[in-house]
C-alpha cells in the first residue's frame, strides 16, 4: 500500500497557513508503519487538482486530500475529484437535513447560499461524519484507486482522521500490520538509533521521528508477538527515559507525575519569558497541578516576585547558578508549590560575554527538599536556545520526580 | 515566470518536521507578486527527486528546492539535480578551503568523512554563500530552466533566501514588478478585502495573507507610481489599524510604541498562562521595555502576585471584569510598569457555565492613568481561544498607546 497526500488551498502556497496537516497525518501514518511517497500542496484550481491526482496515482494507490470541502465557490475538491473519476455528484438528503439543522442551531436566519453543496458526494462514496464542523469527509474506491477526502481545518481533520480513517487505512492492508510507539525523551536521535540497532531483526521495522529533546520510536511488524517483545526490550533499554503510557509530550508527563504524587508546581522564568508556563497551561486540566509562574525578565522582578537577593545579583549576576537557585527556591517558598522550575540565561543574539556566551543557561529544579542546578551551553539562535531550555528543564524535573515514589 | 517548490527530506513526510520553509518562501514570494504553482514534499531518494523535477517543470520554469545539501550520505539533492540536467559535479577548491576552516574553528580534530561533498557543485552553477551554516546555496540556469537550491534548516534558509535569492528571482523577470506590504491588525480578512476593493484598478494586483488578528496586504504593479499611490490610499483607509514601518508583528509593534514613549510593560495572565510574555520575550531586545509578567493560574497567585482581593474573587469570580481590572492594576502597581495587560477567561474544553461559557475572556489593558476592560466571547477550541486572546489583548494595548503622543 502506497500513500500520497494532496493538500489543497491557496493559503498554503501564499504562506498564510503553515501546513501542519501534513506533519499530523505523516506522524499518524508512521504509527502504522506507513511513510507517504510524497505530499503536494496545490491551489484551489480544477486543472491543478486533476494534474496532481495523475501525479499522485503514478506514485501511490491511496491518496489522502485535505481542504476544499466547504460551501464557498473556491471549494472545488469534490467536483474535481468526481470529474477525475468520471462520477456524478449526488445529493444526500439525510446529510442535507443534518447540515441545515446544524446551521440553524448555531445561527439565526436561513442557511447561506451554496450551504447544501456540502451534502453532495461522488456517486458510490462513503461518508465520514464530521463531529467538529460542517463538511463531512469522504472515502471512495474506484478502479483500484482509493481516495480519502478530509476537511482542511486541523480541529476537524485531526479527530476525523484519528477516529475513522486511520482504521480504514490499516484495514485496507492484505495482512494486518501491528505497530507500537515509544516516546524517548532527553536523548539525541543518533544515540536512540544506536541503542535500538541491536533489537532489530527480520520481521520488525523501526522508524524515528525527532524533535528537540524528544524522539518517537515506532516499531511495526506483521507478527504481534514479535512486535510486543521488541517494544518491551526497547522499554527496558530506555527505562527512565520514556514517557508514561498514554502520555505523548514532556509537559503532559510532568503534570501527570505530579498529579500522581498529589503535588503542585510553579515556575520562574527569565530568558524563556513564560514559555514553560504557556506550554503547561496549553494542556486541559493543568490547573489541578500548576499554580502559576513568574516571568521575571528584569532584575527588579526577580527580587520582587522571587526574593532573589541584591547581593546575589550584584556579585554573581542574574545569569548564574546562584540566581537560578534563589529563583526556584523563591517561587516554591512564595507559592507553596511542591515542585519548581527556574530558568535564567542568555538567549541572544546579543548579551553574551567571553565568560558567559550566548546559549549559557542555568536551570534550577526543585522537588520537596531537593534542589538541583544545571549549567547548560546551548547552540543556535534565540529561538533554538529558548526551545532547548524548555525541554531540558522539564526533563530534569521529570527525572527528579521519578526518583520519588508516588 | 512560474515557480514550483521542492522540499526534500524524509522528516517532512514522517511528521517529525513541520514544513515551515514552504510558508516562509510563499510569503516572501507573495511580496513580489508571485504565488507558487505547487509545492512538493518528497523523501531523500534519487528516483523521487528526478520524478518530482519532471513534474515541477511541467508546471513551472523556476524550481526552488530546500534540504539535502549537507555532508551525510542521505544528502543527495545536488547529485540528483546534476544527473537530471546531465551535468558533472565539480569540486570548488576555494569553498573547500573555506569549509575546512569553518569546521576547524568550531571543532577539535579533522573534518568528518564526506565533509567536502559540500564543496561540490553542478558544473556552471553559481554559489550562494551560507552565513549561518556549512552548505552553500546554488543557482543554476540550464536549457531555459532555473533552479535554486537552499539548505533545509530555517536558520540558514531564511537569510540566504532573503539576502540573495529573492533579488535574483525578482531580476529574472523581463519587466520589473514593484511590490508593497501593509500589515493590517485587528480587522477580519473579509472586511479588509471589502474595504480594499474600491482601490483596485487595472495595473495593480492585490493578495491577502491572514492569520488570527493580522492580515498582510500585498500590492504589486509594473508601475511604481501607481503602486505607491494605491499603497498610500490603503494606508489612509486602514489608518490606526496598520503596523509601523519596518514592524511585522503585533508584539513587536507594542514594544516599538512603548520604546518610543520610553515606557515599560508588565503582564498578568491567567488562561493564556504566559503566552503573551513568551511572545514578547521572543523578540531580541525586548528587555528594554518588558519588565516581566505573572502567570497567575490559581486564585491564590492572583492574590499573592497581583493583590486581587478575596472579595472580588468570591463575589465576581476569577473570570470577571472586576478581576481583570484588579489584575492589570495590580501588576502595574507592583512592578512600576507604565503599561499593563491582564487576561482571565475560560479556554475550555471544560469549565464553562451557561453564564460564562467556554471562550469568555476578560482582557484588561492599562496605560498610565487609563484602564480599559474588554469582555470577549471567542469561538473554537482551547488553542484557538488562547491565540485569539493574545492578539486581541496586544491590539487593544496598541490602540490605547496610539491615543497618546510619543
For the record, the C-alpha cell of A112 comes out as 447561506
Using alpha carbons only, how large is chain B's radius of gyration in Å? 26
Measured between beta carbons, the chain B residues lying within 8 angstroms of A58 are 51
Instruction: Indicate if A156 and A198 belong to the same structural domain.
Output: no
Instruction: Indicate if A44 and A76 belong to the same structural domain.
Output: yes
Which of the four pLDDT bands, split at 50, 70 and 90, describes residue B19?
very high
Instruction: Indicate if A127 and A38 belong to the same structural domain.
Output: yes
Residue A26 contacts B, CB cutoff 8 Å: yes
Measured between beta carbons, the chain B residues lying within 8 angstroms of A292 are 273, 294-298, 301, 305
Residue B263 contacts A, CB cutoff 8 Å: no
Using alpha carbons only, how large is chain A's radius of gyration in Å? 26
How far is residue B347's CA from residue A26's CA, in Å, rounded to a whole number?
A: 28
DSSP A48-86: HHHHHHHHHHHH-SEEEEES--SSSTT--HHHHHHHHHT
CB contact under 8 A, B209 and A286: no
* Mean pLDDT, rounded, for B16-30: 90
Instruction: Specify the pLDDT at position A348.
Output: 87
CATH number of residue A139's parent domain: 3.40.980.10
Instruction: Indicate if B100 and B36 belong to the same structural domain.
Output: yes
Instruction: Indicate if B318 and B349 belong to the same structural domain.
Output: yes
CATH number of residue A259's parent domain: 3.90.950.20
In B14-111, which ranges are continuous DSSP H helix? 20-31, 46-59, 77-85, 93-106
What residue in B sits closest to A276 (Cα-Cα)?
B274
Closest CA to B389 of B287, B294, B310, B274: B274
Instruction: Report how far apart the first and last C-alpha atoms of chain B are (Å, whole number).
Output: 45
CA separation (Å) from B168 to A324, B8, B161, B346? Answer: 48, 22, 10, 49
CB contact under 8 A, A16 and B210: yes
Q: Please tell me the least confidently modeled range out of A370-374, B101-105, B275-279.
A: B101-105
Mutate to test the interface with B, among A26, A33, A54, A319 (most CBs of B within 10 A): A26
Among B119, B138, B172, give the residue marking a domain's end: B172
Nearest-10 crossing angle of helices B321-335, B299-306: 40
Per-residue pLDDT of B48-84, as tens digits, reads 999 999 999 999 999 999 999 988 777 899 999 999 9
Query: Which H or E element spans position A229?
Result: helix A224-237
Burial A156-195 (b: 16+ CB within 10 A, else e): bbbebbeebbbeebbeeeeeebbbbbbbbbbbebeebeee
Per-residue pLDDT of B111-128, as tens digits, reads 777 788 899 999 999 999
Query: Does B291 have pLDDT greater than 80?
Result: yes
Mutate to test the interface with B, among A9, A15, A301, A348 (most CBs of B within 10 A): A15
Within a domain: B35: yes
Which of the four pLDDT bands, split at 50, 70 and 90, describes residue B392?
very high
Distance from CA of B99 to the nearest CA of A (A): 19
Instruction: Indicate if A200 and A288 belong to the same structural domain.
Output: no
Distance from CA of A130 to the nearest CA of B (A): 15
CB contact under 8 A, A274 and B286: no
Instruction: Indicate if B46 and B67 belong to the same structural domain.
Output: yes
Structural domain of residue B72, as residue ranges? 3-172
Instruction: Specify the pLDDT at position A76.
Output: 92
Query: Does B218 have pLDDT greater than 90?
Result: no
CATH number of residue A184's parent domain: 3.30.70.2860
CB contact under 8 A, A27 and B10: no
Give the dihedral sign, CA A124/A125/A129/A133.
negative
Query: Does B158 have pLDDT greater than 80?
Result: yes
Mutate to test the interface with A, among B43, B67, B301, B343 (most CBs of A within 10 A): B301
Please, what is the average pLDDT of chain B?
92
Picking from A39, A216, A301, the nearest residue to B13 by CB comes out as A39
Query: Does B244 have pLDDT greater than 80?
Result: yes
Number of domains within chain B? 3
Which of the four pLDDT bands, split at 50, 70 and 90, describes residue B176?
confident
Query: How much of chain B, in percent, has pLDDT values that exceed 70?
Result: 100
Measured between beta carbons, the chain B residues lying within 8 angstroms of A210 are 11, 16
Instruction: Specify the pLDDT at position A307.
Output: 97
Q: Strands A265-269 and B265-269: what pairing?
A: unpaired
How far is residue A386's CA from residue A383's CA, in Å, rounded to a whole number?
A: 5
Instruction: Indicate if A35 and A146 belong to the same structural domain.
Output: yes
With beta carbons less than 8 A apart as the criterion, state whether A295 and A269 touch.
Answer: yes
Query: Does B23 have pLDDT greater than 80?
Result: yes
Instruction: Indicate if A10 and A69 belong to the same structural domain.
Output: yes
Bond from prior residue into A291 cis (ω within 30 degrees of 0)? no
Extract the residue ranges of chain A whose pLDDT is less than 50: none
Amino acid at each position: 500500500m502506497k500513500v500520497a497526500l494532496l493538500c489543497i488551498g491557496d493559503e498554503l502556497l501564499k504562506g498564510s497557513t503553515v501546513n501542519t496537516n501534513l506533519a499530523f497525518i505523516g506522524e499518524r501514518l508512521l504509527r502504522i508503519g506507513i511513510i507517504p511517497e510524497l505530499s503536494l500542496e496545490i491551489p484551489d484550481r480544477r486543472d491543478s487538482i486533476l494534474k496532481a491526482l495523475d501525479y499522485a496515482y503514478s506514485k501511490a494507490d491511496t491518496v489522502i486530500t485535505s481542504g476544499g470541502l466547504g460551501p464557498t465557490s473556491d471549494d472545488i475538491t469534490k467536483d474535481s475529484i468526481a470529474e477525475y473519476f468520471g462520477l456524478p455528484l449526488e445529493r444526500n438528503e439525510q446529510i442535507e437535513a443534518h447540515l441545515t439543522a446544524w446551521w440553524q442551531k448555531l445561527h439565526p436566519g436561513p442557511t447561506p447560499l451554496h450551504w447544501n453543496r456540502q451534502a453532495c458526494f461522488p456517486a458510490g462514496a462513503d461518508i465520514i461524519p464530521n463531529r467538529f464542523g460542517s463538511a463531512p469527509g469522504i472515502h471512495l474506491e474506484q478502479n483500484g484507486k482509493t481516495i480519502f477526502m478530509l476537511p482542511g481545518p486541523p480541529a476537524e481533520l485531526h479527530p476525523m482522521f484519528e477516529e475513522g480513517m486511520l482504521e480504514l487505512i490499516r484495514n485496507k492492508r492484505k495482512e494486518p500490520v501491528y505497530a507500537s510507539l515509544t516516546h524517548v525523551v532527553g536523548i539525541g536521535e543518533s544515540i536512540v538509533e544506536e541503542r535500538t540497532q541491536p533489537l532489530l531483526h527480520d520481521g520488525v521495522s523501526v522508524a524515528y521521528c525527532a524533535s528537540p529533546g524528544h524522539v518517537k520510536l515506532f516499531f511495526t511488524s506483521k507478527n504481534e508477538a514479535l512486535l510486543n517483545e521488541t517494544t518491551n526490550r526497547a522499554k527496558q533499554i530506555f527505562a527512565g527515559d520514556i514517557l508514561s503510557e498514554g502520555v505523548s509530550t514532556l509537559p503532559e508527563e510532568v503534570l501527570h507525575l505530579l498529579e500522581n504524587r498529589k503535588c503542585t508546581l510553579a515556575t520562574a522564568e527569565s530568558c524563556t519569558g513564560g514559555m514553560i508556563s504557556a506550554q503547561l497551561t496549553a494542556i486541559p486540566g493543568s490547573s489541578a497541578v500548576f499554580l502559576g509562574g513568574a516571568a521575571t525578565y528584569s532584575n527588579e522582578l526577580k527580587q520582587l516576585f522571587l526574593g532573589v537577593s541584591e547581593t546575589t545579583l550584584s556579585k554573581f549576576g542574574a545569569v548564574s547558578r546562584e540566581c537560578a537557585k534563589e529563583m526556584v527556591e523563591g517561587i516554591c517558598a512564595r507559592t507553596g508549590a511542591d515542585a519548581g522550575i527556574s530558568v535564567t540565561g542568555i538567549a541572544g543574539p546579543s548579551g553574551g560575554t567571553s565568560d558567559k556566551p550566548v546559549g549559557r543557561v542555568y536551570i534550577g529544579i526543585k522537588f520537596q527538599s531537593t534542589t538541583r542546578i544545571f549549567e547548560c551551553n546551548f547552540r543556535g539562535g534565540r529561538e533554538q536556545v529558548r526551545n532547548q531550555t524548555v525541554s531540558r528543564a522539564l526533563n530534569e524535573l521529570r527525572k527528579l520526580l521519578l526518583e520519588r515514589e508516588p
